[in-house]
Amino acid sequence: MGAAGHWRLAIRCGALACAGAAAAGGVVWWVLGPAHAGAFGYGAGVGVLSLVSVAGTVSLLAGRSFRSRALGVGSFPARYLCVVAALGLPAYWEAWPVLPMAAGVCGVYLVENLVLVPGLMVAGGRRRRKRGVLERRVAA
């Protein structure tokens, strides 16, 4: 899968996460009120930005130069540090309710693992079949 394929898959998964977060945010609004729904939406937004940035990390890791791959390796932990800062600072300042904010970002990571990872596996299998690569397994 090329770099454009990673971006398409990440944006499609991000759109799916946004749709699910909007529906879940409506339920949170109805049950807990607007402050908790805002916190949930903020957390989901942080999660979606992190999710879509996965494509950038993969594009850098798949680069041909050493510098590109080194930036990709560095961008992986940087993504998580950004999420920690984006969630930790409002929690520390008590700007948002913490549990709905954490539930929003965790929901997006759940969607990422349930949709994005199998999508990458399917796309990788299609690419191997297209090239005519035959796998041979050897029993131990």
Tens of pLDDT, residues 83-116 = 999 999 999 998 889 999 999 999 998 888 887 7
Tens of pLDDT, residues 37-53 = 999 999 999 999 998 88
Non-local (6+) Cβ contacts of 100 within 8 A are 28, 32, 36, 37, 39, 40, 43
74 and 129 co-located in one domain: no
Answer yes or no: are the C-beta atoms of 51 and 14 closer than 8 Å.
yes
Among 75, 93, 111, which residue terminates a domain? 93
44 and 67 co-located in one domain: yes
28 and 73 co-located in one domain: yes
CA pair distance 121, 124, nearest whole angstrom: 5
Comparing 118 with 72, the larger pLDDT belongs to 72
CA atoms within 13 A on the CB side of 11: 7
55 and 35 co-located in one domain: yes
CA pair distance 78, 117, nearest whole angstrom: 20
Nearest to 102 by CA among 12, 56, 52, 41: 41
Single-letter amino acid, residue 84: V
Check residue 114 and give its pLDDT: 83
Give the pLDDT band (50/70/90) at residue 5: confident
82 and 106 co-located in one domain: no
Check residue 99 and give its pLDDT: 93
Give the pLDDT band (50/70/90) at residue 126: low
64 and 126 co-located in one domain: no
Binning the chain into helix, strand and coil, the percentages to the nearest 5 are 85, 0, 15
Q: Supply 121's token pair.
A: 């596996």
| Total of domains in the chain | 2
5 and 23 co-located in one domain: yes
Read off the pLDDT of each residue in 58-64 and give the average, rounded to a whole number.
83
56 and 123 co-located in one domain: no
What residues make up the domain containing 109? 98-139
36 and 71 co-located in one domain: yes
For the question of whether the overall pTM of this predicted structure is more than 0.75, the answer is yes
Comparing 63 with 108, the larger pLDDT belongs to 108
Q: Which residue has the tokens 């908790």?
A: 36
81 and 103 co-located in one domain: no
